[in-house]
């Protein structure tokens, strides 16, 4: 095992992470190495919180909650995540009143350059909800990867959500005025069509990567197929116009990218009928496929954050997953114990508790 004091600088690697007033931590600082890193300790000692902080530092999003306010330490006004990724120093302050971003000590007016620094793929046991859960979970996955694949996606999605909120607000009025509602159709369609195109492209690029990874993990026993299901139909403008009566009845916009879904099939059969082991293998292949895609697109692998998922896998799948992780990627893994790790594995060990 390596010791943190021996870590040197490495491009594209998260080398240091500091948090303040974040979750259970008043203040904590950890150093990471390239390659394998293990955060080891009992449950409820902050292992997952450190992974969450690393994700927020690099992507300004939590993989656990939609509202970052939930990550603020109890009775504190806000939190700070601070770290070094490659040659860059990243800082993010968040409170309920304001947010502040800094790159190399220079405050940023927007997040564009900041978010270009590092990419992340996050693995957790709850990922099985990608198969079992609602379409919301699958859209969140698409959004998280798409925003990293294309820096313009985040703005397109925000533009769509803004137009959607405005349109829905008018639809909820006691007497909807369709002339006013129609004024938001153009921005809704323009931004929505950009979102649809980028999601469709992402799924098309993911398919071969996910299929190849799935073959490696499952031993080529099943064929995995992804299907992007647009909630706007084949023609968003026609679908939106045809949905006017339904929108009036529901008092909300009933069609569009906010209703998109992603379907999975194993050997042409819906993943809903797969066993738990098959579903977990599917999800691992999906996440690893995203990692390989991002690595190819940017000629550098994303940081892989794996939250205690090895305990849910049998020995064969553990070995297959370790072998399938991109070799050049930095991997930060939480676990309660390491008795499953091969004795010759070279890794940095960080103990909590």
**For the ranges 14-23, 90-99, 215-224, 251-260, which has the lowest average pLDDT?**
215-224
What is the helix (H) or strand (E) element at residue 101, kind and residue range?
A: strand 99-103
Domains along the chain?
1-118+302-353 (3.40.50.300), 125-300 (1.20.1050.90)
Structure confidence at residue 11 (pLDDT): 59
Is pLDDT of 219 > 50? Answer: yes
Question: Which letter does DSSP use for residue 350 in this model?
Answer: E
Query: Is the pLDDT higher at 217 or at 97?
Result: 97
Mean pLDDT (the chain) is 93
* Residue 327 backbone dihedrals phi, psi, to 5 degrees: -60, -40
Structure confidence at residue 321 (pLDDT): 80
pLDDT digit string, tens, across residues 62-104: 999 999 999 999 999 999 999 999 999 999 999 999 999 999 9
Instruction: pLDDT band for 9, please (50, 70, 90 cuts).
Output: very low
Cα angle at 240 between 237 and 246, to 5 degrees? Answer: 165
Structure confidence at residue 312 (pLDDT): 72
- Angstrom CA distances, 281 to 128, 144, 334, stand at 9, 20, 19
Beta strands in 112-251 (DSSP E): 120-124, 224-229
Three-class DSSP category at 27: strand
Pick the closest to residue 201 from 135, 165, 149, 238 (CA basis): 149
Q: Whats the size of the chain, residue-wise? A: 353
Three-class DSSP category at 20: strand
Is pLDDT of 5 > 60? Answer: no
Sheet holding 269-270, edge to edge: 224-229, 261-266, 269-270
pLDDT digit string, tens, across residues 245-281: 999 999 999 999 999 999 999 999 999 899 988 999 8
Structure confidence at residue 2 (pLDDT): 46
Question: Measured between alpha carbons, how far is 334 from 46 in angstroms, rounded to an integer?
Answer: 10
pTM comes to: 0.93
Question: Measured between alpha carbons, how far is 45 from 332 in angstroms, rounded to an integer?
Answer: 16
178 CB neighbour count, 10 Å cutoff? 13
């Amino acid at each position: 095992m390596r010791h943190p004091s021996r870590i040197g600088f490495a491009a594209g690697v998260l080398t240091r992470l500091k948090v303040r007033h974040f979750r259970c931590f008043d203040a904590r600082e950890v150093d990471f190495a390239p390659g394998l890193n293990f955060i080891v300790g009992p449950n409820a000692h902050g292992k997952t919180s450190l992974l969450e902080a690393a994700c927020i530092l690099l992507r300004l999003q939590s993989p656990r909650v939609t509202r970052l306010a939930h990550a603020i330490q109890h009775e504190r006004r806000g939190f700070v995540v601070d770290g070094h990724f490659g040659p860059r120093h990243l800082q993010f302050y968040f409170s309920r009143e304001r947010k502040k971003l800094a790159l190399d000590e220079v405050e940023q007016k927007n997040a564009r350059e900041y978010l270009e620094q590092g990419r992340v793929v996050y693995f957790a046991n709850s990922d099985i909800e990608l198969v079992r859960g609602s379409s919301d979970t699958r859209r969140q996955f698409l959004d998280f990867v798409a925003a990293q694949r294309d820096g313009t996606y985040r703005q397109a999605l925000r533009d769509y959500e803004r137009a959607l909120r405005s349109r829905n607000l008018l639809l909820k009025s006691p007497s909807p005025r369709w002339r006013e509602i129609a004024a938001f159709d153009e921005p809704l369609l323009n931004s929505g069509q950009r979102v649809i195109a980028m999601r469709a492209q992402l799924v098309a690029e993911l398919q071969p990567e996910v299929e190849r990874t799935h073959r490696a993990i499952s031993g080529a026993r099943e064929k995995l197929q992804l299907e992007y299901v647009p909630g706007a139909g084949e023609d968003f403008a026609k679908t939106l116009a045809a949905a006017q009566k339904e929108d009036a009845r529901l008092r909300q916009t009933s069609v569009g990218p906010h209703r998109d879904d992603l379907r999975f099939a194993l050997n042409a059969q819906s993943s809903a009928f797969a066993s738990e082991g098959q579903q977990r293998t599917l999800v691992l292949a999906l996440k690893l496929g995203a990692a390989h895609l991002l690595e190819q697109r940017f000629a550098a692998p994303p940081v892989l954050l794996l939250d205690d998922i090895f305990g849910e896998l049998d020995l064969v799948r553990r070995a297959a997953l370790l072998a399938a992780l991109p070799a050049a990627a930095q991997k930060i893994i939480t676990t309660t114990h390491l008795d499953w790790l091969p004795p010759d594995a070279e890794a940095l060990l960080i103990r909590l508790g």
